[in-house]
Structure 1
C-alpha cells in the first residue's frame, strides 16, 4: 500500500521515463503523480512511451495534464492536488521533482499566455508556484528537487556566448537593468543570434533556480525552527530543497527540439551520460550529479536571492494565504 507520493513534472522526458520506471519498480510504497502538457497526445511518441512504462503500475500512478506555460492552470493544479492530499485521496508528498524545462535556441524570445518569457516561466516561475502551494502537502523530511545546469556558472559551458547574470536593482536608469527584464525581455529579432541569446535565457533561468533555492531553504529552516520541529503545524519538519546539475544526456529530446542542426549533430557524439538520481536524504544545496558542489558566486549573493524571491512571488501571484512560509 502506498504511504507517500512523488510529484514529477515533465514526466515524458528522456531522463524522466527511466527514473519513473526505477521509482515504481523499487519503491512499492510510493504513488507517482506524473505531469505532462497533454497526457492524451496519441501522436507524441514520448507520451506513448511513458504510458507503456507505467502500465504495469497503473494502481500507483496518476498521469495528469499540467501546462507550465499557463500560471492559472498551475495554481489550479496545485490547489486541486493539495485538496486531494488533505482528504486522504492521494498520499502526502515525499518529494516534488521539478524536471520539466524549456529552451529555444533557434528563434526570438517567446511569451506565454501570462505575458512572461517562456523559458523563465517554465523553468523557474511555474515550479516555484507549485512548490510554495504544496509545502503543506509534504511529509516530514520531504525533498524538493530542482534541476539546474553548469550553464548557470559563467565560463563553464561551451555554448555560452553571453554570461548569465541576475539584475540586482529594481529601478531603471543609466547603466542599470530592471529585474523585470527576466520576464519581459528586450525585443530580439529572430536573426539576431538566436543561439547565443536563447542559451543565455536558459542559463539565466538555471541561475535563478539555484538563487531561489537558497532563499527557499532559509525560509524552510526558519519555519521548522532550530530543533527541526515545525513551528507551524501545517508544515512538517525537515523539508529541504536541492538543485542538481544532472550533466549532459546525449539522447535527450531537448537536443532535438528548438535546437540548431550543428548542436544536434554534436550531441550525438559529444555529450556524456547523465548520472543517476540519488537518494539525497537530508540533503540541501547545490549538487553536480550525486556530489555536493559549489554553485556560482552570484547564485550565493543573498541580496539577489532575496530580490528574486520577492519578484517571484509577485510574478506568480503567490500571497501569504497561498503558502505556509513567511514571505
Structure 2
C-alpha cells in the first residue's frame, strides 16, 4: 500500500515511549489505512521506527525539539509542506502527547522560557496554530494532560503539590515558584503546566470550526513511562518501588493498557464533546480551578504574542 492508498494522516508527539508508543502501535494496527507522522527528536524516532514499521509501513518522522520555538515551527512547516504537496493524505487528527516533568523549575530553553511550560504548553499551541487549518472534518485533537493538576491527596496521593497559577509572563520564566531549584518546585511546575494545558483546550474549543473537536486526555497513574525519572526525588522512588504494587487494582495502568485507552480517545471510540476532559475512558469534570475563562483568555493572548514574534509563523 502506498501513501496514495492511505486515507488519512495522524500527527503525533510523544509517540516514542510509554503510553504514546503503545497508542501509536494500536492505532496503526486498528487503522491500516492511516499514515502516522511522528514528531520527535531524530535519535528517539530512530529507536522506535523498527517497532512501528513492524506494525505498518505507513509511518514517517519529522525531527523536532519541542523546547525550541524555531524547531517546533519548522517541524510543523514540514508537515504542512507534505500535506500541501499531496505526499500525505488529509489530516484527520493531531495528538499532543509529549510532555516533560523535571527536577526543578529552573531549566531554561534556548528561547529563555522555563522548559516545563515551553514543552507542555507553548509547543502544543504552536503546533495546533499551524496544523489546525489542515484538519478535515470530522477531526479530533487530543492533548494529554494529568490529574496532577488537581493537586490534592485524592488525585495524586500527595506526590504533587497544589498548582500555583500566575500570569503567563511569570510562569513561562525560570524561577516562577518559591524555592524553584527544588524537586517540589519541579513537580509544581508540571502540575501547573497541565492546568495550563486544560485552559488551552478550553480556549481552542471555543475557536475551532464545527466538526473539529479537541479534548484533554488524562491517562491517570501509569507505571513504566519513564516520565518520573526526569523529576527525581520521591516521584521517581514511588513510581519504581511503590506504585507497581498497585497494578492489580483499578488505580494504576501499565503502558500497554493506558496506550489502548489513549488510542480510543484519539480514534473517537471514547465519545467526548469538544473541550471536555477525558479520564481514561470516560468524560468527567476536571478541577474547579481549571474552568476560568479569564485565565484561558490571558494564556491565549500570551501564546499568540509569542507566535506572532516569529516572522515565519502565519497569522491565526
Report the TM-score range of the alignment, normalised by the length of the smaller protein: 0.7 to 0.9
Please give the per-residue CA displacement for 1:126-174, whole angstroms capped at 9, x wherever unaligned. 011001110111111210100111111231322455411422xxxxxxx
Q: Name the count of aligned residue pairs.
A: 292
User: 1:290 aligned to 2:285?
Assistant: no
Once residues 270 and 70 of structure 1 are traced to their aligned partners in structure 2, the CA distance between those partners, rounded to angstroms, is 37
Residue in structure 2 matched with residue 31 of structure 1 by the alignment: 35
Structure 1 residue runs of 4+, over 4 Å off?
318-325
Pick closer, same or farther for the CA change 1:319–1:240 going to 2, 3 Å.
Answer: farther
TM-score, scaled to structure 2: 0.84
Contact 2:215-2:272 at 8 Å conserved across structures: no
- Which consecutive residues of structure 2, in runs of 5 or more, have no partner in the other structure? none
Give the number of the structure whose residues are more often helix, by fraction.
2
Q: Deviation per CA, 1:295-317, whole angstroms, max 9, x where unpaired?
A: 12221111111111101112344
Partners of 1:73 and 1:166 in 2: CA distance: 27
Instruction: Describe the SS at the equivalent of 2:227.
Output: helix
Report the secondary structure of 1:146's partner residue.
Answer: strand
Listed as ranges, the gaps of 5+ residues in structure 1 are 168-177, 225-236
Find the counterpart in structure 1 of residue 305 from structure 2.
Answer: 314
Structure with max Cα Rg: 1
Q: Indicate if the aligned counterparts of 1:126 and 1:316 stay in contact, CA closer than 8 A.
A: no
Q: 1:288 to 1:187 in 2, by over 3 A?
A: closer
Change (3 A) 1:249 1:47: farther
Change over 3 Å in CA distance of 1:192–1:207 after alignment to 2: closer
Q: Distance in 2 between matches of 1:76 and 1:294?
A: 35
Residue in 2 that maps onto 1:194: 182
- Secondary structure of 1:256's aligned partner: helix
Give deviations 1:32-75, integer Å, cap 9, x for gaps. 0012222x35xxxx853x22212235631102211101110111
Asked if structure 1 preserves the Cα contact closer than 8 Å seen for 2:67 and 2:115, the reply is: yes
Distance in 2, matches of 1:95 and 1:138, equals 7
Picking from 280, 291, 306, the partner of 1:300 is: 291
Structure 2 residue aligned with 1:212: 200
Residue among 266, 269, 283 paired with 2:242: 266
TM-score (norm 1): 0.81
Q: What is the CA RMSD across the aligned residues, in angstroms?
A: 2.5
Distance 1:140 1:51 in 2: 29
1:270 CA displacement: 4.2
Does residue 20 (structure 1) correspond to residue 17 (structure 2)? The answer is no
Deviation readout 1:263-292 (Å, 9 max, x if unpaired):
332333346105412233563211111111
1:174 counterpart residue number: none
Residue 68 of structure 1 is matched in structure 2 by 66
C-alpha change, 1:265 and 1:282, in structure 2 (3 Å) is closer
Contact 1:141–1:282 (8 Å) recurs in 2 = no
